[in-house]
């Protein structure tokens, strides 16, 4: 902490000042904070588990990626079959088939919210928004090597500079792969991507369920998106039997098909070769790894140093065999006592939410009944799934790092494809137990809290419980509240896309939302760039609501007795300090700028400022009018 800073001037600095002053971002990261510390701790433990396991698939995946000398000596050989296949493409039908063949299950519009894939489209198999008892095949825009359309169209100097660096990167990768005329090809590949980018939905629109929920029958693709041999495309994707899709970003689908028809076959083949090489670079010799790092991590994210190989090997192993590794993790590090303690905390926060709903003056009784029904059917997964995933059909070959990576992503794709037409598996987890994160699944009306986020310093049996409510509790409240925020209002208690609010409820909510948009728009991490209040609204509402419910639950958990004073701080003060400390993070300027554009969350410092909307924070720290964080009671945003 830095107790010389007045809480009302800068609560983040008050709670984290000493840490901010004494902490440096590790060279291999663009950001460092609680989430990074937790990830590091989890990684060290995971590495130990992986190195000592008797599970051959886990051991072989890790060891093969670690064997740099073997990868170096193989040179380009492992990727050559991929390039040869692209070389053999002789017409636009074969191109369509090849493009279809690149599709993977690497996007997720509602749960993990991953909206980027560098393949031309991404597949997400999840509950149909109109009938959550069935799975639907969502197709999401892609095709860009840089993170978002803004990188291609924004005229700012930084983006202009990154575009030049990207073209140089494309040329460098092609050159490393001994492709002829790399410079000219890089220029054409970039121009093609730019055309794809121009018809991309914005980040905001791509996250809008009402804009995304477009049911297209298979035949609609021929009518609405002419130019692509869709029969060949879907056959290449292994989706030839699928008769219904959701075209999440329809403008992109139409434009993609037109570009397939219009752009020269050779440009497309060069594009495919580059994307294959770029995507597989982490599994190729050092020169590729370093070029990949120099652009994707250093230029885009401001990271100074490549992460150590063992850390990347853990990521590779987690990507391939996530739940198998996760089972090892929870067996050792997530005791039943912590699962039970979290269960009690969740119950208290859910109850607090229920009381808040009952007490709302602006919501009519019919809507309240729906909200309570939704709360009553909410399923909360804690730590890990009841049934772990079966990897018996995944082939792992010792000594074939690139092949292992390709087989693992194909395995994951096939696993998702196989869900189509089957009943929804409500026990499936979308995050691994060893991932430091939490998630709301709107179409399942469920939440999942992986074991790795339920560890110190967010949940710690060795400290006052006030601090656990302020940290883990606020995160739990945040996720619960997503079921009732501007997204959650769209999904009813069965998970169906069906707005359960009246026009009046929505009007009040929008007005409250507008105040929060303004509050966050005013945060300026740079003189020339501010937080996008609209882009981050859903997350900011969740922070206000989650913190409020966690506070109520903490108060209720005391059963009328005062919380113990520790180091001179009252229970309420501990609660809020712990909340702000849970957000302690340092971010490199480039990465912060990139986040302002692409992230649905506000930067952590401003998330910690959420406290200024709670009356209890004013009672705990007594900030005065005129101080930076002070809000008059009428300006405090109260939504739930
Ligand atoms: Zn959230």
pLDDT tens digits, one per residue of 366-401 = 899 999 999 999 999 999 999 999 999 999 999 999
Instruction: Tally Cβ neighbours within 10 Å of residue 7.
Output: 24
Q: For position 98, what pLDDT does the model report? A: 98
Instruction: For residue range 106-127, list pLDDT tens digits in order.
Output: 999 988 889 999 999 999 999 9
Evaluate whether 357 touches 371 at the Cβ level (below 8 Å): yes
pLDDT category, 171, cuts 50, 70, 90? very high
* Whole-number pLDDT of residue 28: 82
CA of 482 from ligand 1 middle (Å) equals: 7
Phi then psi for 108, rounded to 5 degrees?
-170, 110
Q: Residue 390's CB: how many other CB atoms inside 10 A? A: 10
**545 alpha carbon – ligand 1 mean position (Å):** 11
What is the spatial distance between Cα 473 and Cα 564, in angstroms, rounded to a whole number?
18
Q: What does the block give as tokens for 18?
A: 């000493």
- Ligand 1 geometric centre to CA of 601 (Å): 7
Q: What is the DSSP string of 259-310?
A: HHHHS-HHHHHHHHHHHHHHHHGGGS-HHHHHHHIIIIIIIHH---SPPPHH
Q: What is the mean pLDDT of residues 237-261?
A: 98
pLDDT at 334: 93
Place of tokens 């198999």: 125
In this prediction, residue 422 has a pLDDT band, given cuts at 50, 70 and 90, of very high
Looking at residues 20-27, what average pLDDT do you find? 95
**Picking from 40-44, 69-73, 253-257, 278-282, which range would have the lowest pLDDT averaged per residue?**
40-44
Query: Which of 612, 634, 610 shows the shortest CA–CA distance to 624?
Result: 612
Query: Residue 395: its pLDDT value, please?
Result: 98
Instruction: State the CB neighbour count (10 A cutoff) for residue 133.
Output: 11
- Sheet architecture: strand order including 244-247: 121-128, 131-141, 244-247, 215-217
Determine the Cα–Cα distance for residues 558 and 464; give it in Å rounded to an integer. 12
Report how far Cα 502 is from the mean position of its chain's Cα atoms. Answer: 31
Q: How far is the CA of 508 from the centre of ligand 1 (A)?
A: 21
Tokens of 198: 């121009």
The pLDDT of residue 487 is 77
> How far away, in angstroms, is 544 Cα from ligand 1 center?
11
How far apart are the C-alpha atoms of 501 and 167, rounded to whole Å? 48
Cα 463 to middle of ligand 1, angstroms: 26
Task: Name the strand (E) or helix (H) holding 540.
Answer: helix 537-557
Torsion region of 360: left, alpha or beta (phi above 0 gives left; psi -120 to 50 gives alpha): beta
Q: pLDDT tens, 142-159?
A: 999 999 999 999 999 999
Cα of 540 to ligand 1 centre, how many Å? 8
Closest CA to 99 of 224, 214, 261, 218: 261
Q: If you average pLDDT over every residue of the chain, what do you get?
A: 95
C-alpha 469 to ligand 1 mean position (Å): 17
- Residue pointed to by tokens 């059963």: 559
Ligand 1 centroid, distance to 546 Cα (angstroms): 10
Distance from the CA of 41 to the center of ligand 1, in angstroms? 23
Looking at residue 182, what is its pLDDT?
Answer: 98
> Which residue's entry shows tokens 């300090």?
577
CA 346 to CA 338: how far, in whole Å? 12
State the virtual CA torsion across 139, 144, 148, 152 in degrees, nearest 10.
Answer: -140
Instruction: Give the model's confidence band at 538: pLDDT under 50 very low, under 70 low, under 90 confident, else very high.
Output: confident
In the reported structure, the alpha carbon of residue 477 is separated from the centroid of ligand 1 by a whole-number distance in angstroms of 10
Ligand 1 centroid to residue 557 C-alpha, Å: 25
Distance CA 630, CA 81 (A): 63
DSSP string, 594-618: HHHHH-SSPPHHHHHGGGGG-HHHH
Query: H/E element holding 97?
Result: helix 92-102
Distance (Å) from CA 599 to ligand 1 centroid: 11
For residues 93-110, average pLDDT:
97
Give the pLDDT band of residue 204 (cuts 50, 70, 90).
confident
pLDDT tier for residue 91 given thresholds of 50, 70 and 90: very high
Give the C-alpha separation, 489 to 497, whole Å: 9
Query: Which of 218, 236, 227 is CA-nearest to residue 272?
Result: 236
Locate 406 and state its tokens: 């390709």
Pairing of the two strands 215-217 and 379-383: unpaired
Do residues 61 and 409 touch, judged by C-beta distance below 8 A? no
165 Cα–ligand 1 center, Å: 33
- Per-residue pLDDT, 292: 98
Phi–psi pair at 31, nearest 5 degrees: -150, 155
CA 431 to ligand 1 centroid distance, Å? 14
Q: How many Å lie between the centroid of ligand 1 and the Cα of residue 126?
A: 19
Q: 364 pLDDT exceeds 90?
A: no
Q: Which of 465, 640, 497 is nearest to 564 (CA)?
A: 465
Helix 336-359 to helix 537-557 angle (10° resolution) is 100
By the CB criterion, residues less than 5 angstroms from ion ligand 1 are 539, 542
pLDDT (0 to 100) of residue 510: 79
Distance (Å, rounded) from C-alpha 83 to C-alpha 272? 9
Query: Are 446 and 381 spatial neighbours (Cβ–Cβ below 8 Å)?
Result: yes
**Residue 134 Ramachandran class (φ > 0 left, ψ -120 to 50 alpha, else beta):** beta
Centre of ligand 1 to C-alpha 118, Å, is: 24
- Percent of the chain whose predicted confidence (pLDDT) is above 90: 88
Ligand 1 centroid distance, CA of 112 (Å): 10
Question: How, if at all, do strands 439-441 and 31-33 pair?
Answer: unpaired
**Greatest distance between any 2 Cα atoms in the chain:** 77
**Sequence-distant (≥ 6) Cβ neighbours of residue 38 within 8 angstroms:** 436, 452, 453, 455, 457, 458
Q: Which of 116, 99, 273 is nearest to 200 (CA)?
A: 116
Q: What are 343-354's pLDDT values in tens digits?
A: 999 999 999 999
Q: How far apart are CA 442 and CA 440, in angstroms?
A: 6
Mean pLDDT within 190-210: 94
Q: Which residue has the tokens 């050792």?
A: 332
> What average pLDDT score do residues 171-192 get?
98
Distance (angstroms) between ligand 1 centre and the Cα of 430 equals: 15
Distance 230 CA to ligand 1 centre (A): 36
Could you count the other beta carbons within 10 Å of the beta carbon of residue 45?
Answer: 17
pLDDT tens per residue across span 479-537:
998 888 777 889 999 999 999 998 888 888 778 789 999 999 999 999 999 999 999 99
Of the pLDDT bands very low, low, confident and very high (cuts 50, 70, 90), residue 240 is very high
Q: How far is the CA of 549 from the centre of ligand 1 (A)?
A: 15
């Amino acid at each position: 902490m830095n107790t010389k800073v007045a809480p009302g001037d800068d609560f983040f600095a008050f709670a984290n000042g000493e840490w901010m002053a004494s902490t440096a971002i590790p060279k291999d990261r663009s950001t460092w904070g609680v989430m990074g510390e937790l990830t590091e701790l989890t990684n060290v433990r995971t590495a130990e588990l992986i190195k000592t396991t008797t599970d051959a698939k886990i051991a072989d995946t890790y060891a093969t990626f670690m064997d740099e000398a073997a990868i170096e000596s193989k040179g380009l050989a492992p990727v050559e079959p991929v390039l040869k296949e692209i070389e053999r493409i002789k017409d636009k039908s074969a191109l369509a088939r090849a493009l279809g063949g690149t599709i993977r299950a690497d996007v997720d519009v509602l749960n993990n919210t991953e909206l980027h894939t560098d393949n031309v489209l991404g597949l997400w198999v999840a509950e149909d928004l109109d009938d959550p008892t069935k799975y639907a095949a969502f197709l999401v825009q892609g095709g860009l090597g840089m993170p978002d359309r803004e990188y291609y169209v924004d005229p700012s100097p930084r983006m202009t500079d990154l575009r030049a660096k990207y073209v140089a990167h494309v040329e460098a990768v092609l050159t490393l792969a001994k492709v002829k005329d790399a410079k000219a090809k890089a220029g054409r590949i970039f121009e093609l991507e730019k055309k794809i980018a121009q018809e991309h939905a914005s980040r905001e629109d791509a996250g809008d369920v009402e804009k995304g929920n477009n049911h297209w029958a298979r035949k609609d693709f021929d009518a609405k998106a002419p130019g692509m041999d869709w029969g060949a495309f879907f056959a290449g994707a292994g989706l030839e039997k699928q008769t219904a899709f959701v075209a999440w970003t329809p403008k992109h689908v139409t434009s993609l098909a037109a570009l397939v028809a219009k752009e020269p076959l050779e440009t497309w083949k060069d594009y495919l070769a580059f994307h294959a090489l770029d995507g597989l670079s982490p599994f190729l010799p050092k020169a590729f790894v370093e070029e990949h790092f120099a652009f994707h991590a250093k230029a885009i994210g401001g990271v100074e140093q490549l992460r150590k190989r063992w850390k990347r090997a853990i990521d590779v192993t987690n990507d391939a065999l996530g739940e198998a590794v996760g089972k090892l993790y929870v067996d050792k590090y997530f005791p039943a006592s912590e699962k039970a303690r979290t269960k009690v905390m969740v119950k208290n926060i859910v109850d607090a939410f229920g009381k808040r709903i009952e007490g709302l003056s602006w919501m009519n009784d019919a809507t309240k009944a729906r909200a309570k029904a939704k709360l009553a059917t909410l399923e909360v997964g804690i730590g890990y799934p009841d049934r772990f995933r079966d990897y018996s059909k995944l082939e792992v070959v010792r000594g074939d790092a690139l092949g292992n990576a390709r087989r693992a992503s194909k395995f994951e794709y096939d696993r998702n494809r196989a869900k189509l037409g089957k009943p929804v598996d409500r026990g499936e987890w979308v995050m691994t137990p060893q991932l430091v994160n939490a998630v709301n699944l709107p179409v399942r009306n469920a939440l999942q809290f992986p074991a790795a986020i339920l560890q110190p310093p967010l949940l710690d049996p060795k400290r006052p419980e006030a601090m656990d409510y302020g940290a883990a509790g606020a995160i739990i409240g945040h996720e619960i509240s997503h079921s009732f925020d501007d997204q959650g209002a769209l999904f009813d208690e069965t998970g169906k896309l069906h707005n359960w609010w009246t026009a009046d409820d929505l009007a009040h909510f929008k007005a409250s939302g507008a105040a929060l948009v303004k509050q966050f728009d005013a945060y300026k991490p740079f003189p020339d760039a501010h937080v996008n209040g609209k882009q981050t609204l859903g997350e900011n509402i969740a922070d206000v609501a989650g913190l409020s419910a966690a506070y109520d639950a903490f108060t209720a958990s005391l059963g009328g007795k005062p919380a113990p004073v520790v180091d001179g701080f009252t229970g309420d003060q501990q609660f809020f300090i712990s909340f702000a400390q849970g957000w302690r993070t340092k971010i490199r300027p480039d990465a912060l700028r990139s986040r302002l554009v692409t992230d649905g969350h506000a930067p952590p410092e401003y998330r910690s400022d959420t406290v200024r909307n709670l009356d209890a924070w004013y009672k705990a720290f007594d900030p005065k009018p005129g101080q930076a964080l002070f809000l008059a009671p009428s300006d405090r945003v109260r939504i739930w």
